[in-house]
Structure 1
Amino acid sequence: MALWDRLKESATTMQSQLNAKKNDLKSGAFRDASMAMCALVAAADGSVDAAERQRVAALIGTNEVLQNFPADDLQQRFNDYCQKLTTDFDFGKVSIMQTIGKVAKKQTEARAVIQIGIVIGGADGDFDKDERAIVREACFALQIAPEEFDL
């Protein structure tokens, strides 16, 4: 199976797993960690360009699990996290990883945040090395073995 096909299949499987847990994923901490993860994936290469920001924002708006939250609230949080990364990537990344780490004790939410990162990163058909690396770092912040997600 080609890498592209495996990636699409993996993203589809993860989205299905997320949808099955939708009712368990309604906390404010999950919402914040998810938007933080989306911003990190968008900025994985060290910058957030307008096209990448738009693409990720569109994916957030159509993700079934994230529809537990008001779209304008998600958009605002995503933009705030992107702004932190744009202003000072390294400092912003530390702050955002702390936000992600707040769901570490709730393993359903923690795994869902990682799955969202993979789904968002792979949505364009190219879960590149920078995106994989940033999601792998988030695994460590959540005390999850990256190998669990083939990272």
Structure 2
Amino acid sequence: MALWDRIKESASTMQTQLMAKKNDLKSGAFRDAGMAMCALVAAADGSIDPSERQKVAQLIMSNEVLQNFPAEDLQRRFEANCDRLTADFDFGKVSVLQEVAKAKKKPAEARAVIQIGIIIGGADGDFDKDEQAVVREACYALGLPPHEFDL
């Protein structure tokens, strides 16, 4: 199976798993961590161009699990995290990873945050090394073993 097909299959499987847990994923910690993860993946290469920011924002709005929260609230949180990362990537990354770590207390939420990162990273058909690296760092922030997600 080609890498692209494996990425699509993995993202589809993870989206199905997230949908099964949708009713359990309503906490503020999950919301904050999820938006931080989205920004982290969008900025994985150290910058976020406007088209990438827009594409990730559209993915957030179309994700059924994230529809538990008001769209304007998600957008505001995503943009705030993106701003932190674009102002100073290294310092911003520390702050954004602290947001991701908010989901650490609930293992189901922590796993869901990682799954969102993988879905966002693979949405363009190329879950590249930079994206994998930031999702792996998020695993450590959440106390999850990266190999559980093939990272």
TM-score range, shorter chain: over 0.9
> Normalized against structure 2, the TM-score is what?
0.99
Distance in 2 (alpha carbons) for counterparts of 1:69 and 1:139? 23
Q: Which amino acid aligns with 2:24?
A: D
Matched, 1:30 2:35: no
For structure 2, list consecutive stretches of 5 or more residues without a partner in the other structure.
Answer: none
- 1:133 corresponding residue in structure 2: 133
Q: Which amino acid aligns with 2:127?
A: F
Deviation at 1:103, TM superposition (A): 1.1
Q: Which amino acid aligns with 1:43?
A: A
Distance in 2 (alpha carbons) for counterparts of 1:100 and 1:85? 14
Distance in 2 (alpha carbons) for counterparts of 1:105 and 1:84? 24
Question: What is the alpha-carbon root mean square deviation over aligned residues?
Answer: 0.4
User: How does 1:1-150 map onto structure 2 within 5 Å?
Assistant: 1-150=1-150
Distance in 2 (alpha carbons) for counterparts of 1:105 and 1:32? 13
Distance in 1 (alpha carbons) for counterparts of 2:101 and 2:80? 18
Secondary structure, in 3 states, of the residue corresponding to 1:48? coil
CA contact (8 A) 2:32 2:102 kept: no
Deviation above 2 Å: which 4+ runs of structure 1? Answer: none
Secondary structure, in 3 states, of the residue corresponding to 2:104? coil
> Normalized against structure 1, the TM-score is what?
0.99
Count, aligned residues: 151
Deviation at 1:105, TM superposition (A): 1.4
Q: 1:61-87 deviations in whole A, cap 9, x for unaligned?
A: 000000000001100100000000011
Identity %: 75
Distance in 1 (alpha carbons) for counterparts of 2:134 and 2:127? 11
Distance in 1 (alpha carbons) for counterparts of 2:22 and 2:52? 26
Deviation at 1:102, TM superposition (A): 1.4
Distance in 2 (alpha carbons) for counterparts of 1:135 and 1:52? 17
Q: 1:4-40 deviations in whole A, cap 9, x for unaligned?
A: 0000000000000000000000000100000000000
Q: Which amino acid aligns with 1:146?
A: P
Deviation at 1:129, TM superposition (A): 0.4
CA contact (8 A) 2:101 2:142 kept: yes
Deviation at 1:111, TM superposition (A): 0.2
CA contact (8 A) 2:19 2:64 kept: yes
Distance in 1 (alpha carbons) for counterparts of 2:132 and 2:35? 17
